[in-house]
A and B are shown apart, each in its own frame.
Chain A
Amino acid sequence: MIRINSLRVIRMQEPILQIDSLHIGAGEVVGLMGPNGSGKTTLLRALHGLIPESRGQVQTELDLRIAMVFQRSQLLHLSAGLNLRLAAWFAGRTWQEARPLVDKSLQNMGLLDLRERLATRLSGGQQQRLSLAKALIRQPDLLLLDEPLSALDAESSTQCIQTLSGFVNENRPLTRPRTIVFSSHSEAQTLALASRIIRLEKGRIIEDKPVRASS
């Protein structure tokens, strides 16, 4: 699904990400771990093609639909419902088609009552759930999440992990399996969701191993 070759991202003449080779296959749930500044966010942005000045190759399959949830909320100063409706519209839905999808997404995230509230006025946790809903409404093949659970309480975290697990395991005949790449500081959260863990340090991969499914 994604193949990286000799990727170098340099900022202020300092390399902040150096990856010689990395392959992420369809259906994988990859957890990125590492201390602050280790390159997790940069790797996610590079996978999404948001770092035009990077050197090297990030090859993705053609027609791969990508969505990303950012560490800092990237919501528009519009109602929660309108934020989702725009995301659905950009994903190719008509304005009318988008409406029931929006309600369903908000319902899944426990945000239906807040549909008319300004997204930028919601609490940090609500904004993070709304951002996740905004990404999921695009029905992406590859979902990139930058510390998606950092602002959530335990109950909301569990709910989001269940939503993400459901998203990955949803049966999609005739289409490629879904893939998630996410960053986290929490070992427990990563183990709960990931099928593979990649540890980064100073912009380099220092460990890449599968997660054994707990029985």
Chain B
Amino acid sequence: MSDISQSIAIATQLVLDLDPGLVAIVARSFTVSVSATAFACLIGCTLGAMLGARDFSGKRITILLLNTYVAIPAVVVGLITYLLLSRSGPLGSLGWLFSLQAMIFAQTLLVIPLAATMTRQLIEDADRRIGEGLRSMGAGLLARALLLLVHERAALLTILITCFGRAIAEVGTVMMVGGNIDGFTRVMTTAIALETSKGDLPLAIGLGIVLLMAVLLLNLLLFAVAHRSPGQEARS
């Protein structure tokens, strides 16, 4: 117990002193996860909105496949990404394996279905409520999907946070395609896993504290943005 208390004390000191090693890992984690969330939400939310605003034969099958894709274990996504990016794979010529690009690519693939599924459900519900009003105005599929996204922007922020949470908390995928190389592809989650297995608890706990604080701060920031902009307040 005293070991744990001592580790927490050292970890707190590392955080307060802005330990260069810790800061570098945190910055790298954010670079990867923010980029991946941005790409994934851009693609996933657009796909989900189009899927939610449109009725077509085969929609149920598409939704079923998408839901299955959400449930695929992260390591399987890591394996697929690894095969895609490996030297003999179709994207091997990019030379991304064991780089930050590979980690961003993998996390993007991991988060796209989550963004698409959540957005699809959100937009489908909104379309049921106000879609006829938009059709009546003459809005086509793309315009309807975009306006419904704007209409549901408060809920969209929640999707964004959820996607970021999924990306930054992920270990297996980035470990497989990034390689957890010290000073190069080591991020918070892979560092926590490694340091814990080595028994170096202070750094692991320190990174854990930063991870929790970062997610909390992000939530607070988004909450403030959603409630401050005129005409943009979140619905209760």
- Kindly identify, within residues 119 to 159 of chain B, every residue whose CB is under 8 Å from any CB belonging to chain A: 129-130, 132-139, 143, 147, 150-154
Asked if B136 and A118 make an inter-chain contact with CB atoms under 8 angstroms apart, the answer reads no
Asked if B231 and A74 make an inter-chain contact with CB atoms under 8 angstroms apart, the answer reads no
- Kindly identify, within residues 55 to 99 of chain A, every residue whose CB is under 8 Å from any CB belonging to chain B: 66-68, 70, 72, 74-79, 82, 86-87, 90-91
A76-B151, A77-B151 known; A50+B136 contact, CB < 8 A? yes
A-B contact count (CB 8 A): 55
> For the complex, what is the distance from the CA of A86 to the CA of B136, rounded to whole Å?
12
Asked if B136 and A68 make an inter-chain contact with CB atoms under 8 angstroms apart, the answer reads yes
A50-B136, A90-B138 known; A75+B130 contact, CB < 8 A? yes
> For the complex, what is the distance from the CA of A116 to the CA of B152, rounded to whole Å?
18
> For the complex, what is the distance from the CA of A92 to the CA of B133, rounded to whole Å?
17
> For the complex, what is the distance from the CA of A210 to the CA of B153, rounded to whole Å?
48
Asked if B233 and A70 make an inter-chain contact with CB atoms under 8 angstroms apart, the answer reads no
Asked if A91 and B138 make an inter-chain contact with CB atoms under 8 angstroms apart, the answer reads yes
Asked if A118 and B231 make an inter-chain contact with CB atoms under 8 angstroms apart, the answer reads yes
A185 within 8 A of B: no
- Kindly identify, within residues 138 to 189 of chain A, every residue whose CB is under 8 Å from any CB belonging to chain B: 138
A70-B132, A76-B150, A77-B151 known; A82+B137 contact, CB < 8 A? no
> For the complex, what is the distance from the CA of A78 to the CA of B229, rounded to whole Å?
12
B90 within 8 A of A: no
Of B129, B132, B133, B152, chain A has the most CB atoms within 10 Å of the CB of: B133
Residue of A nearest to B135 (CB): A50
Residue in A68, A86, A91, A118 whose CB lies within 8 Å of B147 = A86
A86-B147, A90-B139 known; A74+B134 contact, CB < 8 A? yes
A48 within 8 A of B: yes
Asked if A116 and B138 make an inter-chain contact with CB atoms under 8 angstroms apart, the answer reads no
Asked if B235 and A138 make an inter-chain contact with CB atoms under 8 angstroms apart, the answer reads no
> For the complex, what is the distance from the CA of A78 to the CA of B152, rounded to whole Å?
10
Chain A min CB distance to B153 (Å): 8
A74-B130, A86-B147 known; A79+B231 contact, CB < 8 A? yes
Chain B min CB distance to A140 (Å): 10
Interface size class of B (residues with CB under 8 A): 20 to 34
Residue of A nearest to B139 (CB): A90
B230 within 8 A of A: yes
A196 within 8 A of B: no
Asked if A48 and B136 make an inter-chain contact with CB atoms under 8 angstroms apart, the answer reads yes
Question: B152 — which chain A residues lie within 8 A by C-beta?
Answer: 77
Asked if A74 and B133 make an inter-chain contact with CB atoms under 8 angstroms apart, the answer reads yes
Contact with B along A29-66 (1 / 0, CB 8 A): 00000000000000001001010000000000000001
Residue of A nearest to B147 (CB): A76
> For the complex, what is the distance from the CA of A50 to the CA of B139, rounded to whole Å?
13
Residue in A66, A76, A82, A120 whose CB lies within 8 Å of B136 = A66
Asked if A50 and B233 make an inter-chain contact with CB atoms under 8 angstroms apart, the answer reads no
> For the complex, what is the distance from the CA of A79 to the CA of B139, rounded to whole Å?
18
> For the complex, what is the distance from the CA of A200 to the CA of B173, rounded to whole Å?
62
Chain B min CB distance to A61 (Å): 17
Of B136, B138, B153, chain A has the most CB atoms within 10 Å of the CB of: B136
> For the complex, what is the distance from the CA of A16 to the CA of B132, rounded to whole Å?
19
Asked if A74 and B136 make an inter-chain contact with CB atoms under 8 angstroms apart, the answer reads yes
Chain B min CB distance to A215 (Å): 37
Instruction: Jot down 23 A-B pairs with beta carbons below 8 A, ordered by A.
Output: A50-B132, A50-B135, A66-B136, A67-B136, A67-B137, A68-B136, A70-B132, A70-B133, A72-B129, A74-B130, A74-B136, A76-B130, A76-B150, A77-B153, A77-B154, A77-B235, A78-B151, A86-B147, A87-B137, A91-B138, A116-B230, A118-B231, A120-B235
On A, residues with C-beta under 8 Å from B are: 45, 48, 50, 66-68, 70, 72, 74-79, 82, 86-87, 90-91, 116, 118, 120, 134, 138
